[in-house]
């Protein structure tokens, strides 16, 4: 009877080991971009970020001047 109890009782890897094995398995399935694609996408993100910050800065300047004229705040 001792033999059947051992065969029923399977050793499961602990949570951390299983988590890392599954993570590595999923990362192998990822379609990673090439260096050129990553560089192009990074440049697009930087251009859009700087462009939007320039637009937001310009809008901030316009609105601050406009409300400064209305409420006569600041020189």
- What secondary structure letter does DSSP report for 72? T
Q: What totals of helices (H) and strands (E) does the chain contain, helices first?
A: 3, 0
Encoding tokens for residue 59?
């809008």
Using one digit for the tens of pLDDT, what is the confidence trace for 22-53? 999 999 999 999 999 999 999 999 999 999 99
Summarised one tens digit per residue, pLDDT across range 6-20 is 555 566 778 888 999
What's the domain count of the chain?
1
Range of the domain at 28: 2-71
CB-neighbour burial class of residue 6 (10 A; exposed 0-12, middle 13-18, buried 19+): exposed
Give percent above pLDDT 70 in the chain.
81
């Amino acid at each position: 009877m001792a033999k059947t109890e051992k065969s029923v009782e399977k050793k499961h890897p602990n949570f951390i080991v299983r988590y890392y094995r599954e993570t590595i398995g999923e990362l192998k399935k990822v379609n990673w971009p090439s260096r050129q694609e990553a560089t192009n996408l990074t440049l697009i993100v930087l251009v859009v970020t700087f462009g939007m910050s320039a637009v937001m800065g310009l809008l901030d300047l316009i609105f601050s001047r406009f409300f400064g004229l209305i409420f006569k705040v600041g020189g």
